[in-house]
Structures are given as C-alpha cells and as structure tokens.
C-alpha cells in the first residue's frame, strides 16, 4: 500500500472479469489500466484505485496469453485466476469497509449472477458502478430490483476509448493505479511473490490438475 496521505479518501475496487469481458481484439493491453484510471478520475476524482483482473487465466477460450498478462501486470493490474468472482470480492469487502466504490466490469451472465451480491453491497454502503461489453446487459426486472442502486454504467469500449496518450509516450502511465499488483490463484490457494512466479504456477502440473478437477463439476 502506498500514499499514507490518501488513507482517508474513498477507495475504489475495479473488479474486472476478464473471461466474460475480455480485452477487445487489437486493443493494446498496456492501455487498459491507464484508461480505466483516466475514465474514473475524470468522473469520480481521487482516492486509491485497485484494479484486479479476475477469471480463468488458463484453460479457457478467452484466456489471455503470457504477453498480455505481463502488460496488464506491469500497468499495475492485479491478477487472480478464479472460476467465480464472488468469494474474492467478499475477501476485499471484508478488508475494506464502506464507504468505498466498487466498479464491476463483466459480461451479462456474470452480472446477472452477481446482481444480488451487488444489491447487498449497495445496501451496506458501497457505491456500485458497472461496465459491460454490450447494451442490455441484464433483464429489465434486475435493473428495477437488484441493480436499481447502481450509480453509473459504462460500455466497456467507451471506457477504453477515453482520450489519452499511449504507454510508449509516457511510461509513468503504466503505474497509474498507485498500487503494486498482486498475483494469486484462488483455485490452488496460491499467492505468487512475483509475476514470473505466477506464470510459472499457471503452467505447472499442480495448477492443470486443479483446473481439471474443477472442470469435472461445472
Ligand atoms: Zn492454480
């Protein structure tokens, strides 16, 4: 954690389901973190931001390759290999009591399954924001009930096309989140010490075995 002087400002957790809302084809992975931060800053001011990309980082059609993971990590985005978002979200909530902001970036199916959780978090004092890849991300009744407290929504592509320079023009932008990234695999209860440590784990037999067991049950 950095920025002692920021301790009293509201924290923001960006929870990005990279499996259901992947990086658009041809988009520079290096820009994802800085663009999210830039869009957030232009809308919602300061305060520490943590961006976490969570999802199936291996054994999935949308799994990002090593180069993409490296670029995300070097721009300050934490990486979690997990089959579902909920338990890790609860872990964060436990460590970060309200008031705090949660920006969920996910596909429509995942949004639907998390709607009740978001409703609960909203009633507990968290401010909920959403981004998703297409319009009509959830049935109307969900918007009228469990998602009624959502503060603001973005389309994923418009969040990413916020105007700013590229990483190559200004390398400092790669660390804009102000947090050091972390790397973990929920499936194997593994926390890595470095990016290399993490990718070694993702390629390990232990990880492949854990994935194969989980896949038998989903
Ligand atoms: Zn693993």
How many A from CA of 193 to the centre of ligand 1?
A: 14
pLDDT digits (tens, 9 = 90+) for 23-77: 999 999 999 999 999 888 887 667 889 999 999 999 988 899 999 999 999 999 9
Cα 14 to ligand 1 centre (Å): 22
Alpha helices in 104-155 (DSSP H): 108-123, 140-144
**Cα–Cα–Cα angle for 97, 74, 77, rounded to 5 degrees:** 25
- What pLDDT, in 10s, does the model give residues 148-185? 899 889 999 999 986 554 444 444 444 455 568 999 99
Neighbour-count burial for 20-51, b at 16+ CB within 10 Å, e otherwise: bbbbeeeeebbbbbbbbbbbbeeebeebbbbb
Of the listed ranges 14-23, 65-74, 126-135, 207-216, the least confidently predicted one is: 207-216
Gap from CA of 103 to ligand 1 centroid (Å):
25
Give me ligand 1 centre to Cα 213, in Å: 11
Q: Which domains does the chain have, with CATH numbers?
A: 10-215 (3.40.50)
Closest CA to 154 of 141, 138, 135: 135
What's this model's pTM, rounded to 2 decimal places? 0.87
Q: According to DSSP H, which parts of the chain are helical?
A: 29-44, 66-74, 86-95, 108-123, 140-144, 156-160, 195-202, 205-215
- What whole-number distance in Å separates Cα of residue 197 and Cα of residue 214? 22
In sequence order, the 6+-apart residues with CB closer than 8 A to the CB of 95 are none
CA of 57 to the centre of ligand 1 (A): 10
Residue 93 CA to ligand 1 center (angstroms) comes to 23
Give distance in angstroms: CA of 207 to centre of ligand 1.
4
CA of 206 to the centre of ligand 1 (A): 7
């Amino acid at each position: 954690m950095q920025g002692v002087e920021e301790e009293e400002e509201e924290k923001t957790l960006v929870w990005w389901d990279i499996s259901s809302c992947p990086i658009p084809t041809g988009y520079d992975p290096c820009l994802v973190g800085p663009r999210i931060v830039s869009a957030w800053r232009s809308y919602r001011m300061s305060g520490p931001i943590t961006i976490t990309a969570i999802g199936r980082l291996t054994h999935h059609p949308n799994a990002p390759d090593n180069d993409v993971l490296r670029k995300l990590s070097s721009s300050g985005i934490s990486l979690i290999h997990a089959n579902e978002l909920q338990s890790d979200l609860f872990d964060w909530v436990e460590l970060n009591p309200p008031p705090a902001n949660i920006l969920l970036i996910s596909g429509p199916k995942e949004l639907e399954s998390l709607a009740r959780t978001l409703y609960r978090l909203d009633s507990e004092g968290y401010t909920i924001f959403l981004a998703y890849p297409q319009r009509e991300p959830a049935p109307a009744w969900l918007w009228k009930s469990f998602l009624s407290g959502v503060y603001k929504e973005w389309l994923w592509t418009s969040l990413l096309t916020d105007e700013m320079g590229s990483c190559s023009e200004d390398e400092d932008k790669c660390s804009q989140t102000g947090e050091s990234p972390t790397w973990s695999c929920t499936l194997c209860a593994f926390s890595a010490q470095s990016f290399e440590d993490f990718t070694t784990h993702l390629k390990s037999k232990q990880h492949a075995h854990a994935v194969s067991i989980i896949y038998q049950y989903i």
